[in-house]
Amino acid sequence: MRVLLIEDEVLLAEQVADGLRDHGIAVDLAADGVDGLHKAGANRYDVVVLDRDLPLLHGDHVCSALAANGGGARILMLTAAGEAADRVAGLVLGADDYLPKPFVFEELVLRIRALARRVDNAPRVLRRAGLTFDTARRVVTRDGRVIPLTTKELAVLEILMGADGAVVSAEDLLERAWDEHADPFTATVRVTLARMRRKLGDPPLIETVIGAGYRL
């Protein structure tokens, strides 16, 4: 899952981003509405977490533009204004959910994951080829045996399982499971998948499709 966090409070943005990354979520940051709108147009995101009071371009305008663009990303609006009228205004502008500040971080994570499932119409528990992935608890089992995976490996596996047998390119994995700082010319994806193959055990579950990508 890849999230764009548009937040002008730098310390808060970095703390939230670090916390989301610890949960296996790739995060890009933007500190104003103009940069946020640019990044949202240049990359594919599952969820945009949008502060309402932004410099250069107000969050209301960013929200309206994102909703009108129809890029597919769900919008979670953050704001210090917690009145019902403010929440209604955000939803009218096109936001999918609304969370007033200050917020409990775990609630933010749950809301982001719920919105991402709405994007993909993905169930909470994924099952394929003897694997079971409880995406809420972040637990993977194979034939009843718990498989210990890192947060990044969980993110990659969620994409592969969600593809339901379709081939996923290395570029697509890099775009969806890593953030904007990932080097597209490294062997990061290949190394991560090799490590996952060892952990998932035999018979092998991840197939390399030459010239196309990977398939579970």
Is there a single domain that holds both residue 78 and residue 136?
no
Residues 158 and 89 in one domain: no
Give the CA dihedral 56, 69, 117, 48, nearest 10 degrees: -10
Which of 83, 100, 120 is a domain's end point?
120
Tell me the pLDDT band of 199, cut-offs 50, 70 and 90.
Answer: very high
Q: How many domains does the chain divide into?
A: 2
Q: What is the pLDDT of residue 121?
A: 58
Alpha helices in the chain, H assignment, sequence order: 10-22, 33-42, 59-69, 84-93, 105-120, 151-162, 170-177, 188-200
Confidence at residue 55, expressed as pLDDT on a 0 to 100 scale: 95
Same domain, 173 and 143: yes
Query: Which of 61, 86, 120 is the endpoint of a domain?
Result: 120
Residue ending a domain, among 69, 102, 120, is: 120
What are the structure tokens assigned to 98, written together? 């609304």
Q: Is the pLDDT of residue 90 over 70?
A: no
Asked whether residue 29 falls in the same domain as residue 80, the answer is yes
If asked whether residues 32 and 56 sit together in one domain, one would say yes
Question: How confident is the prediction for the chain on average, in pLDDT?
Answer: 88
* 114, 146: one domain: no
Same domain, 132 and 75: no
Question: Is the per-residue pLDDT at 193 higher than 70?
Answer: yes
93 and 163 both lie in a single domain: no
Q: Are residues 96 and 69 in the same domain?
A: yes
**pLDDT, tens only, 167-192:** 999 999 988 888 887 777 778 899 99
Max CA distance (Å), the chain: 56
Whole-model pTM over 0.75: no
Q: Are residues 36 and 95 in the same domain?
A: yes
35 vs 98, higher pLDDT: 35
- Classify 171 as helix, strand or coil: helix
Range of the domain at 198: 125-215
pLDDT higher for 66 or 121? 66
Specify whether 107 is located in the same domain as 10: yes
Q: Are 6 and 48 in contact (CB under 8 A)?
A: yes
Q: How confident is the model at residue 206 (pLDDT cuts 50, 70, 90)?
A: very high
Asked whether residue 107 falls in the same domain as residue 188, the answer is: no
Among 28-42, 66-80, 185-199, the least confident range: 66-80
User: What CATH number is attached to the domain comprising 25?
Assistant: 3.40.50.2300
**Which CATH number characterizes residue 183's domain?**
1.10.10.10
